[in-house]
Amino acid sequence: MLTFFAIVLNIIWIFPAIRQKNTRYGRYFLLLAVIGVLTTLFWLLHLHIVKIINYSVIILSIFLPISLLTKEEFKHWKYFYILVLCFIFLLLYSSHRIEVEALIILCLHFMVLTVFLKQFIWVTVTERLFDVFIIFLIAYELLILIRLFYAANGSIMGLYYYMVSILCETFIGLFFTIFRENNPKLHIRLKFRELA
């Protein structure tokens, strides 16, 4: 039953990739959709080609933080990403444990979360806007980080949290399917009082 809901969730996440095409986050949503399809294959095929799919998910996850960068930002951070990439391949080569793989994906999603937090702070301070779209992106990444944390620890609480997170992620996926990133209804103008 839980696997069924997870598969439905991964199918739902295909629609935000279509809806957000040609927006600032289009590549990010496309990668999430492809990762969701691969994860669904992982569940459906069980143990036949598990390692190939696991490594594919990790390799695609490497590109999640990169997909959020502009060309100028990428030029500035390219050596950092090359170093991270080498480190990840070294870890994958030396360890075939699911906890290590979950930890790698956790670190990559933490990098994505920091990009979203930076964007939220920047928009809030410089443009005086409360961007609801970015808040949903932050909430989604926090859900993933907590789920991966439980997976890396092998905690029984991870199963309970997983059920709750599937419901929340389904709601968030529907939100991204309905609203595009540039929807003016999602930008709330903030009024700061000037200090004298």
pLDDT tens for residues 27-50?
999 999 998 888 777 777 765 555
pLDDT at 65: 84
Q: For residue 32, what pLDDT is reported?
A: 92
- From 24-28, 54-58, 65-69, the region with the lowest mean pLDDT: 54-58
Structural domains in the chain (count)? 1
Reported as a single tens digit per residue, the pLDDT across 87-107 is: 776 666 666 666 677 777 888
Query: Which pLDDT value is given to residue 151?
Result: 67
pLDDT tier at 177, thresholds 50, 70, 90: very high
DSSP 82-151: HHHHHHHHHHHHH---HHHHHHHHHHHHHHHHHHHHHHHHHHHHHS-EEEHHHHHHHHHHHHHHHHHHHH
User: Rounded to whole angstroms, how far apart are CA atoms 87 and 90?
Assistant: 5
- The reply to whether 76 falls in a domain is yes
Helix axes 157-178, 2-12, angle to 10 degrees: 30
Predicted confidence at residue 90, as pLDDT, reads 66
- Asked whether residue 194 is domain-assigned, the answer is no
Give the range of the structural domain holding residue 95, as residue numbers without chain letter: 2-188
Is 163 within the bounds of a domain?
Answer: yes
Q: Name which of 183, 35, 4, 22 is nearest 109 in CA terms.
A: 35
Per-residue exposure over 3-18, b if at least 16 CB sit within 10 Å of its own CB, e if not:
eeebeebbebbbbbbe
Considering the domain boundaries, does residue 34 fall inside one? yes
DSSP 79: H
Residue 193 forms part of a structural domain: no
pLDDT of residue 59: 77
Residue 196 within any structural domain of the chain: no
The phi, psi pair for 80, rounded to 5°, reads -60, -45
Cα–Cα distance measured from residue 140 to residue 135, given in angstroms and rounded to the nearest whole number: 9
- Are residues 43 and 20 in contact, defined by beta-carbon separation less than 8 angstroms? no
pTM exceeding 0.75: yes
Q: Which of 43, 63, 68, 65 is nearest to 54 (CA)?
A: 43
Q: How far is CA 111 from the centre of its chain?
A: 10
SS3 of 148-191: the string is HHHHHHCCCHHHHHHHHHHHHHHHHHHHHHHCCCCCHHHEEECC
